[in-house]
Amino acid sequence: MKKQSEAMIPTPNGVFRMIAYADDNKDLMPHVVLVHEDLDSYDNVVMRIHSECLTGDLFGSKRCDCGEQLDKALQIIGEEKGILIYLRQEGRGIGLINKLKAYQLQDTGMNTIDANIHLGFEPDERDYEVASEILKDLGVKSVRLLTNNPEKVNGLNEYGIQVAERLPIIISPSKENKAYLQIKNDLMGHLLD
Protein backbone atom coordinates (compact mmCIF):
# COMPACT_ATOMS: atom_id res chain seq x y z
CA MET A 1 0.00 0.00 0.00
CA LYS A 2 1.58 3.26 -1.06
CA LYS A 3 0.79 6.77 -2.13
CA GLN A 4 -0.02 6.78 -5.86
CA SER A 5 -1.05 10.39 -6.54
CA GLU A 6 -2.27 13.56 -4.85
CA ALA A 7 -3.78 16.96 -5.58
CA MET A 8 -5.24 19.93 -3.71
CA ILE A 9 -9.05 19.86 -3.53
CA PRO A 10 -11.14 22.84 -2.36
CA THR A 11 -14.29 21.74 -0.52
CA PRO A 12 -17.06 23.45 1.48
CA ASN A 13 -15.14 22.40 4.62
CA GLY A 14 -11.71 23.70 3.59
CA VAL A 15 -8.89 22.92 1.21
CA PHE A 16 -7.53 19.40 1.47
CA ARG A 17 -4.68 17.47 -0.04
CA MET A 18 -6.41 14.41 -1.55
CA ILE A 19 -4.14 11.39 -1.69
CA ALA A 20 -4.88 8.07 -3.43
CA TYR A 21 -3.36 4.98 -1.77
CA ALA A 22 -3.24 1.60 -3.50
CA ASP A 23 -0.94 -1.36 -4.07
CA ASP A 24 -0.26 -0.13 -7.61
CA ASN A 25 -1.20 2.80 -9.83
CA LYS A 26 -3.58 0.71 -11.96
CA ASP A 27 -5.99 0.21 -9.05
CA LEU A 28 -9.30 1.84 -10.04
CA MET A 29 -10.67 1.89 -6.46
CA PRO A 30 -7.88 3.30 -4.26
CA HIS A 31 -8.35 4.29 -0.65
CA VAL A 32 -8.63 8.07 -0.38
CA VAL A 33 -7.19 10.38 2.25
CA LEU A 34 -8.04 14.03 2.82
CA VAL A 35 -5.41 16.00 4.74
CA HIS A 36 -6.35 19.57 5.67
CA GLU A 37 -3.93 22.04 4.09
CA ASP A 38 -3.28 23.67 7.48
CA LEU A 39 -2.60 20.47 9.43
CA ASP A 40 0.26 21.58 11.67
CA SER A 41 0.89 18.66 14.02
CA TYR A 42 1.03 14.91 13.63
CA ASP A 43 0.23 14.30 17.30
CA ASN A 44 -3.37 13.99 18.49
CA VAL A 45 -4.72 14.65 14.98
CA VAL A 46 -8.51 14.84 14.76
CA MET A 47 -9.41 12.24 12.19
CA ARG A 48 -12.02 9.81 10.98
CA ILE A 49 -11.75 6.46 9.30
CA HIS A 50 -14.85 6.20 7.13
CA SER A 51 -15.68 2.97 5.33
CA GLU A 52 -17.29 3.52 1.97
CA CYS A 53 -21.10 3.48 1.91
CA LEU A 54 -22.25 4.29 -1.60
CA THR A 55 -25.92 4.22 -0.64
CA GLY A 56 -25.50 6.59 2.31
CA ASP A 57 -22.51 8.71 1.32
CA LEU A 58 -23.54 9.47 -2.24
CA PHE A 59 -27.28 8.83 -2.47
CA GLY A 60 -28.31 9.90 1.03
CA SER A 61 -29.92 6.60 2.02
CA LYS A 62 -31.78 6.79 5.31
CA ARG A 63 -31.28 3.05 6.02
CA CYS A 64 -28.06 3.99 7.83
CA ASP A 65 -26.38 7.05 9.32
CA CYS A 66 -23.20 6.79 7.21
CA GLY A 67 -23.71 9.79 4.94
CA GLU A 68 -24.68 12.02 7.84
CA GLN A 69 -21.65 10.82 9.84
CA LEU A 70 -19.38 11.56 6.88
CA ASP A 71 -20.81 15.07 6.47
CA LYS A 72 -20.47 15.83 10.18
CA ALA A 73 -16.95 14.38 10.29
CA LEU A 74 -15.84 16.51 7.32
CA GLN A 75 -17.20 19.60 9.03
CA ILE A 76 -15.31 18.81 12.25
CA ILE A 77 -12.13 17.85 10.37
CA GLY A 78 -12.33 21.12 8.44
CA GLU A 79 -12.64 23.12 11.66
CA GLU A 80 -9.94 21.13 13.49
CA LYS A 81 -7.60 20.88 10.47
CA GLY A 82 -7.49 17.10 10.52
CA ILE A 83 -7.56 14.01 8.34
CA LEU A 84 -10.20 11.75 6.79
CA ILE A 85 -9.32 8.25 5.60
CA TYR A 86 -11.96 6.88 3.22
CA LEU A 87 -11.53 3.11 3.07
CA ARG A 88 -13.00 1.04 0.25
CA GLN A 89 -14.78 -1.38 2.61
CA GLU A 90 -18.35 -1.11 1.31
CA GLY A 91 -21.04 -2.77 3.40
CA ARG A 92 -18.81 -3.40 6.43
CA GLY A 93 -16.41 -5.20 4.10
CA ILE A 94 -18.80 -7.40 2.08
CA GLY A 95 -19.07 -5.22 -1.04
CA LEU A 96 -22.00 -3.47 -2.68
CA ILE A 97 -23.60 -6.53 -4.31
CA ASN A 98 -23.71 -8.46 -1.04
CA LYS A 99 -24.79 -5.35 0.85
CA LEU A 100 -27.83 -5.05 -1.40
CA LYS A 101 -28.56 -8.76 -0.84
CA ALA A 102 -28.33 -8.10 2.90
CA TYR A 103 -30.78 -5.22 2.49
CA GLN A 104 -33.22 -7.59 0.77
CA LEU A 105 -32.93 -9.99 3.73
CA GLN A 106 -33.45 -7.10 6.14
CA ASP A 107 -36.63 -6.21 4.26
CA THR A 108 -37.94 -9.70 5.12
CA GLY A 109 -37.28 -9.19 8.84
CA MET A 110 -33.62 -10.06 9.46
CA ASN A 111 -31.41 -7.58 11.26
CA THR A 112 -28.12 -6.40 9.75
CA ILE A 113 -26.04 -8.96 11.66
CA ASP A 114 -28.24 -11.95 10.81
CA ALA A 115 -28.36 -10.91 7.16
CA ASN A 116 -24.57 -10.84 6.89
CA ILE A 117 -24.25 -14.21 8.64
CA HIS A 118 -26.95 -15.69 6.38
CA LEU A 119 -24.85 -14.60 3.39
CA GLY A 120 -21.76 -16.35 4.84
CA PHE A 121 -19.99 -13.33 6.31
CA GLU A 122 -19.03 -12.14 9.76
CA PRO A 123 -21.22 -9.34 11.15
CA ASP A 124 -18.36 -6.93 10.37
CA GLU A 125 -15.60 -7.89 7.91
CA ARG A 126 -13.69 -4.61 8.08
CA ASP A 127 -10.03 -4.30 9.00
CA TYR A 128 -8.04 -1.22 9.97
CA GLU A 129 -4.50 -2.29 9.11
CA VAL A 130 -4.56 -0.25 5.87
CA ALA A 131 -5.64 2.84 7.82
CA SER A 132 -2.76 2.39 10.23
CA GLU A 133 -0.30 1.98 7.32
CA ILE A 134 -1.60 5.20 5.77
CA LEU A 135 -1.29 7.08 9.08
CA LYS A 136 2.28 5.83 9.53
CA ASP A 137 3.13 6.89 5.97
CA LEU A 138 1.77 10.37 6.75
CA GLY A 139 3.88 10.53 9.92
CA VAL A 140 0.88 10.55 12.28
CA LYS A 141 1.84 9.45 15.79
CA SER A 142 -1.47 9.68 17.66
CA VAL A 143 -5.07 10.53 16.85
CA ARG A 144 -8.30 11.83 18.30
CA LEU A 145 -10.63 9.48 16.47
CA LEU A 146 -14.14 10.49 15.38
CA THR A 147 -16.04 7.23 15.86
CA ASN A 148 -18.76 5.45 17.78
CA ASN A 149 -17.17 2.07 17.03
CA PRO A 150 -14.75 0.73 19.67
CA GLU A 151 -13.42 -1.76 17.09
CA LYS A 152 -11.82 1.13 15.17
CA VAL A 153 -10.06 2.24 18.36
CA ASN A 154 -8.90 -1.33 19.04
CA GLY A 155 -7.87 -1.83 15.41
CA LEU A 156 -5.66 1.27 15.30
CA ASN A 157 -4.12 0.51 18.69
CA GLU A 158 -3.45 -3.08 17.56
CA TYR A 159 -1.59 -1.85 14.49
CA GLY A 160 0.55 0.66 16.37
CA ILE A 161 -1.38 3.94 16.15
CA GLN A 162 -2.15 5.49 19.53
CA VAL A 163 -5.75 6.64 19.94
CA ALA A 164 -5.43 9.46 22.46
CA GLU A 165 -9.17 10.10 22.52
CA ARG A 166 -12.38 8.76 21.01
CA LEU A 167 -14.66 11.57 19.85
CA PRO A 168 -18.32 10.54 19.45
CA ILE A 169 -20.11 11.40 16.24
CA ILE A 170 -23.77 10.99 17.10
CA ILE A 171 -26.49 11.37 14.49
CA SER A 172 -30.14 11.62 15.54
CA PRO A 173 -31.98 8.49 14.41
CA SER A 174 -34.70 8.67 11.80
CA LYS A 175 -37.69 6.36 11.54
CA GLU A 176 -35.90 4.55 8.68
CA ASN A 177 -32.67 3.79 10.58
CA LYS A 178 -33.77 3.63 14.22
CA ALA A 179 -33.81 -0.21 14.35
CA TYR A 180 -30.46 -0.39 12.51
CA LEU A 181 -28.83 2.00 14.99
CA GLN A 182 -30.32 0.04 17.90
CA ILE A 183 -28.68 -3.16 16.58
CA LYS A 184 -25.35 -1.33 16.24
CA ASN A 185 -25.68 -0.15 19.84
CA ASP A 186 -27.02 -3.34 21.44
CA LEU A 187 -25.30 -6.12 19.47
CA MET A 188 -22.23 -4.56 17.84
CA GLY A 189 -21.02 -2.47 20.78
CA HIS A 190 -21.23 0.91 19.07
CA LEU A 191 -21.40 3.74 21.59
CA LEU A 192 -24.45 5.73 20.51
CA ASP A 193 -25.65 7.22 23.80
Residue ranges at the known binding site for GTP: 48-52, 69, 90-92, 112, 147, 152
Phi/psi at 77 (5° precision): -65, -35
User: Is 27 in the active site?
Assistant: no
Q: Which one, of 77, 37, 69, lies nearest residue 51 by Cα? A: 69
Query: Of the candidates 189, 172, 193, which has an alpha carbon nearest to the alpha carbon of residue 65?
Result: 172
Give the containing element (helix H, strand E) for 15.
strand 14-22
CB-based contact 167:145 (threshold 8 Å): yes
Provide the annotated binding site for Zn(2+). 53, 64, 66
Query: Could you tell me if 49 and 147 are in contact, meaning their C-beta atoms sit under 8 angstroms apart?
Result: yes
Is 124 in the active site? yes
* Residues in contact with 71: Cβ distance below 8 Å, sequence separation at least 6, in sequence order: none
Q: What is the dihedral of CA 99, 105, 106, 108, to 10 degrees?
A: 160
Catalytic site residue from 124, 137, 144, 186: 124
The one catalytic residue among 57, 65, 126, 144: 126
| Annotated binding-site members | 48-53, 64, 66, 69, 90-92, 112, 147, 152
**Residues that are catalytic:** 124, 126
